[in-house]
Amino acid sequence: MASEWANSRRGLDLHLDFDPAGDGRRTGLEVALRTAIRDGRLAPGARLPATRALADELGVARGTVTAAYGQLVAEGYLSARRGSGTVVARVPSADRAPREPLAPPPAAPRFRHDLSPGRPDVSAFPVQAWLNAARTVLPRVEPAAFALGDPRGRPELRAALAEYLGRTRGVIADPDTIVVTSGYMQALGLVARVLHDQGCTRIAMENPCAPFHREVVRRAGLDVVPLPVDEIGAAGRVPADVGAVVLTPAHQATLGVVLGPARRRALLDWAASTGGVLLEDDYDGELSYRQQVGALQGMAPEHVVYAGTASKTLGPAVRLGWLVLPRRLVDAVAEAKFYADAQTESIGQLVLAELIRRHDYDRHVRVQRLKYRRRRRELLYRLARDVPAVRVHGAAAGVQVLLELPAGGPTETEVVDIAARRGIRLVGLGRGWHGDRGSRLAGILVGYATPADHAWSPTLDALIDVLRSALTLDQVRWSKSPRTQPM
């Protein structure tokens, strides 16, 4: 045969271009090993299988392998030590076949300070609590947990979420109406595809909102209609041809406002009278620093799809989100989930369920909430003292604030560019707008949760310096009285 795959239970795997049925087995084996070393497929220091194991797998005599190894040791390709086995030696570069150099990866800016919006402090991930929960769960989990299961997710997590969301967010949830997803992006895409399949062609989304969320909806085949947002949230009047509305009622995702009671009632009335669907993105609902605003879903569970995630509490790489669905949508969304990726991985679900069950998740959220509230206060204080021309928007919640730039001052792009040159990552509001171009607020979204604890103070100092420099460049007069909202 042209190649052999050595799969010794007693040794290591080794793929060789070697034909044991050909003439000159020893010579053929030497050539195969020498070529693999020269080509770099066997790197310096790589361990080779024991002679007996490789001989069994290749179907040759052990003496053939021993002789081939000995010849390559003599040539300097291999190194053998008693008790340590045979390894690939460091071959001079001249002995190696020339290789095409790899193209360098595209250059990416390096930031010393990251103030990206919508992200938590991932350095605060509860490693020990997660490890303890995993040690509790894994030894007792049944083998079926490692096979494909219900596309809605593990029953342990769905039961834990039903209790947790009802207790902390006022969500009316039954484990049977919950679908676990791989984060909010997938959750939004699943619902959008189901709505499209059921005849919905247009969906309203807040203006402004996250641009990548709009793209998820568009890729599901729906047209996106902008829904204006003002100081009391998304407008309650929905266009007649819209079949669904995506909302962030507890803390609008970019402007940071809270959806007012009258607007809430108007949107719920619209859903009840038209059969439309409200998709509530409760992306940072646990992180409220004043009186907590309950979930919209609790007022009309058969008209609201509730979406939550662990991205803001644990970290986006955990890839765990959830949907609490009206019963009429459960089967369709579960089917869409199955055809998307069969199911979300089970081990993370089981660990998160255990974290919630033992209240370690609650404790972690409380610690993070206190830390982020303190950071927000420090940020607002420094802005009011040092850069009073910048106005802060948004309720006391979440992991970011919107800084409105003064009229006649620097543009978003100028501020972002100045920050980047100083190694600071900032994000402008501009891409969040969609629809007709009218009078649009210009601002910078500052994610104050992103830096690790040790980096927060220098990052805040660097941000203030950037804003001062940007305003000075445009010779903007600073207001004598702060316009920053009270803490």
Please compute the mean of the pLDDT values over residues 413-436 and round it to a whole number.
94
Q: Which domain holds residue 23?
A: 4-95
59 domain-assigned? yes
- What local confidence, expressed as pLDDT, does residue 19 receive? 73
Residue 371 and residue 350 share a domain: no
How far, in Å, are 185, 275, 359, 370, 456 from residue 365 at the CA level?
A: 22, 36, 10, 9, 19
Residue 137 and residue 55 share a domain: no
Report CA dihedral (458, 463, 468, 473) to the nearest 10 degrees: 120
Angle at 92 between CA 90 and CA 46, to 5 degrees: 25
Residue 348 and residue 200 share a domain: yes
Residue 11 pLDDT class (50, 70, 90 cuts)? low
Residue 308 and residue 276 share a domain: yes
Query: Which of 362, 386, 414 is the C-terminal boundary of a domain?
Result: 362
- What local confidence, expressed as pLDDT, does residue 480 receive? 41
CATH number, position 302: 3.40.640.10
Residue 141 and residue 205 share a domain: yes
- What local confidence, expressed as pLDDT, does residue 54 receive? 87
Q: What is the pLDDT of residues 70-94, one digit of tens each?
A: 899 888 899 987 777 899 997 654 4
CATH number, position 30: 1.10.10.10
Residue 84 and residue 68 share a domain: yes
Query: Which of 312, 333, 362 is the C-terminal boundary of a domain?
Result: 362
Assign 434 to helix, strand or coil: coil
Query: How does the average pLDDT of the chain come out, rounded?
Result: 89
How far, in Å, are 29, 60, 385 from residue 25 at the CA level?
A: 6, 8, 82
Please compute the mean of the pLDDT values over residues 360-387 and round it to a whole number.
97
C-beta of residue 77 within 8 angstroms of C-beta of residue 91: yes
429 domain-assigned? yes
Q: What is the pLDDT of residues 320-361, one digit of tens each?
A: 999 999 999 999 999 999 999 999 999 999 999 999 999 999
CA dist 164 and 185 (Å) reads: 22
Residue 460 and residue 312 share a domain: no
C-beta of residue 364 within 8 angstroms of C-beta of residue 128: no
Residue 262 and residue 210 share a domain: yes
Residue 347 and residue 418 share a domain: no
Q: Choose between 14 and 257: higher pLDDT.
A: 257
C-beta of residue 186 within 8 angstroms of C-beta of residue 321: yes
Residue 479 pLDDT class (50, 70, 90 cuts)? very low
Report CA dihedral (205, 207, 210, 212) to the nearest 10 degrees: 60
Helices (H) and strands (E) in the chain, counts: 13, 18
* pLDDT over 90, % of the chain: 72
Residues 6+ apart with CB under 8 A from 397: 250, 251, 256, 258, 284, 287, 288, 289, 290
425 domain-assigned? yes
Residue 351 and residue 371 share a domain: no
142 domain-assigned? yes
103 domain-assigned? no
Count of structural domains, the chain: 3
Burial, 62: exposed, middle or buried (Cβ in 10 Å; 0-12, 13-18, 19+)? middle
Q: What is the pLDDT of residues 272-299, one digit of tens each?
A: 999 999 999 999 999 999 878 899 999 9
- What local confidence, expressed as pLDDT, does residue 2 receive? 44
Beta-sheet pairing, 401-404 with 391-393: antiparallel
Residue 314 and residue 446 share a domain: no
- Radius of gyration of the chain from Cα atoms? 30
Please compute the mean of the pLDDT values over residues 406-435 and round it to a whole number.
93
pLDDT at 196 over 80: yes
384 domain-assigned? yes
Q: What is the pLDDT of residues 113-144, one digit of tens each?
A: 999 999 999 999 999 999 999 999 999 999 99
Report CA dihedral (308, 312, 314, 315) to the nearest 10 degrees: 110
110 domain-assigned? no
- What local confidence, expressed as pLDDT, does residue 96 receive? 47
> What does DSSP assign to residue 382?
H
Residue 89 and residue 152 share a domain: no
Q: What is the pLDDT of residues 144-170, one digit of tens each?
A: 999 999 999 999 999 999 999 999 999
Query: Which of 362, 385, 412 is the C-terminal boundary of a domain?
Result: 362
- Helix or strand holding residue 224 (H, E): strand 223-230
Residue 103 pLDDT class (50, 70, 90 cuts)? low
* pLDDT over 70, % of the chain: 89
- What local confidence, expressed as pLDDT, does residue 23 receive? 60
pLDDT at 271 over 90: yes
Structure tokens at 134: 């995993």
102 domain-assigned? no
